[in-house]
A = this chain, B = another copy of it.
Amino acid sequence: MAKDRINNFNAGPAALPLPVLEEIQESFLNFKDTGMSITEISHRSAPFDAVIDDAAARAKRLLDLDDDYNVLFVQGGASLQFAMIPMNLLRAGETADYVNTGTWSTKAIKEAEIQGVKYNVAASSEDRNFCYIPKEFSFTPNAAYVHITSNNTIKGTQWAGYPDTKGVPLIADMSSDILCRKMDLKPFGLIYAGAQKNIGPAGVCMVIIRKEMLDRVPKTIPTMLRYTTYSEKNSMYNTPPCFAVYTVQLVLKWLEETVGGLLEMEKINREKAATLYDLFDNTEFYSGTADKESRSLMNVTFRLPNEDLEKKFVAHALENGFGGLKGHRSVGGCRASIYNATTKKAVAELVDFMKTFEKRNG
């Protein structure tokens, strides 16, 4: 391992598994004996077909989804999905339901609003600054879909389970928690995730769509904005972001073969999160910002007694090799993002550092 690397708690782009980075580095001038870099090979070639097909197959296997679902690789991030979802999936006269749990949900709702479609905010936790996941919903009967943000990177909350929508397809922005735990995803009509938190580098968004949802896609929207275009062309109507897809493939391979699958990953993630939350529950120096039952396994948000101490904490942490602990610019405070690639060792070392910092400054 490169000794000069830091413990990276960035919220996204975020830490990637070191073995994945090392494999990319090792093969960077000659990918699979092609005599070319992965950045130089044709996307219309057998070696790249193997990459994209393997990435999709592993995603479905890990998430326990069958051939009712297609895995698509789309550019533009989750933010483009906010627009593509109502554009593709709402039929004339239908209503879309949204649950508002923070910044990203609010942005998703704004894109529905821009398009002038009918939507209903079925629940919101804005009353307490989004520090919890709502439990009561006013769903629209026969809504086209119910959109949720499964994990809220900025507010540090996560859905522990998913709401019963009485058969209406769920849609989730899982950018910051996809593949962090074992869940039944069958109620979902569409799942999407910008790769740069849990599954890869920035530059590709994984979209998993139940095939029957594709019947809704109108032909009157631009080709590159139709889910059917990606579905019919194996995400290669035009040149896909090859390097990003390749990295996703390697991360999913690592998750299956090195970590050992989602149950193992979930166990590790729960242990990592517990060591931090236990610290909060046993001191008044660090206080978590999310309600206990809504706490995220991925983004641990917390405050120190005052802003000066928070500044000092972030700076000292960085000096000691812990990066990315500043809270999102919109909320302040501190945040440790502990995605799949963040090791138990890194979290344990952070907790040790935090205890020492408390002793010296508490």
Write the residues of chain A forming the contact surface with B, with a CB cutoff of 8 angstroms. Answer: 2, 4-6, 8, 10-16, 18, 21-22, 24-25, 28-30, 33-37, 39-44, 75-80, 82-83, 87, 110-111, 114-115, 194, 196, 200-204, 219-225, 237-244, 247, 321, 323-324, 329
Which of chain B's residues has its CB closest to A224's CB? B80
| Shortest CB distance A12–B (Å) | 7
25 contacts across the A-B interface (CB closer than 8 A): A5-B30, A5-B36, A10-B36, A13-B39, A13-B41, A13-B242, A14-B40, A15-B36, A22-B29, A25-B25, A34-B323, A35-B321, A44-B329, A75-B75, A75-B203, A76-B224, A79-B237, A80-B225, A82-B223, A83-B224, A114-B222, A201-B242, A202-B240, A202-B242, A203-B244
What is the CA–CA distance of A11 and B115 in the complex, to the nearest angstrom?
Answer: 38
| Shortest CB distance A214–B (Å) | 18
What is the CA–CA distance of A10 and B196 in the complex, to the nearest angstrom?
Answer: 29
**Which B residues are CB-close (under 8 A) to A324?**
42
Contact A238 B78 (CB under 8 A): yes
Contact B323 A36 (CB under 8 A): yes
| Shortest CB distance A16–B (Å) | 6
| Shortest CB distance A55–B (Å) | 15
**Which B residues are CB-close (under 8 A) to A76?**
75-76, 80, 224
Q: A13-B39, A39-B201 are in contact. List 20 more A-B contacts (CB 8 A).
A: A2-B30, A5-B35, A6-B35, A8-B40, A10-B36, A18-B29, A25-B28, A35-B323, A75-B75, A79-B223, A79-B224, A80-B222, A80-B225, A82-B222, A83-B225, A87-B222, A114-B223, A203-B203, A243-B243, A243-B244
**Which B residues are CB-close (under 8 A) to A4?**
30, 33, 35
**Which B residues are CB-close (under 8 A) to A42?**
10-13, 324
Which of chain B's residues has its CB closest to A204's CB? B203
**Which B residues are CB-close (under 8 A) to A34?**
6, 323
What is the CA–CA distance of A194 and B75 in the complex, to the nearest angstrom?
Answer: 13
Contact A239 B36 (CB under 8 A): no
Which of chain B's residues has its CB closest to A36's CB? B8
What is the CA–CA distance of A329 and B29 in the complex, to the nearest angstrom?
Answer: 27
**Which B residues are CB-close (under 8 A) to A21?**
28-29, 37, 39
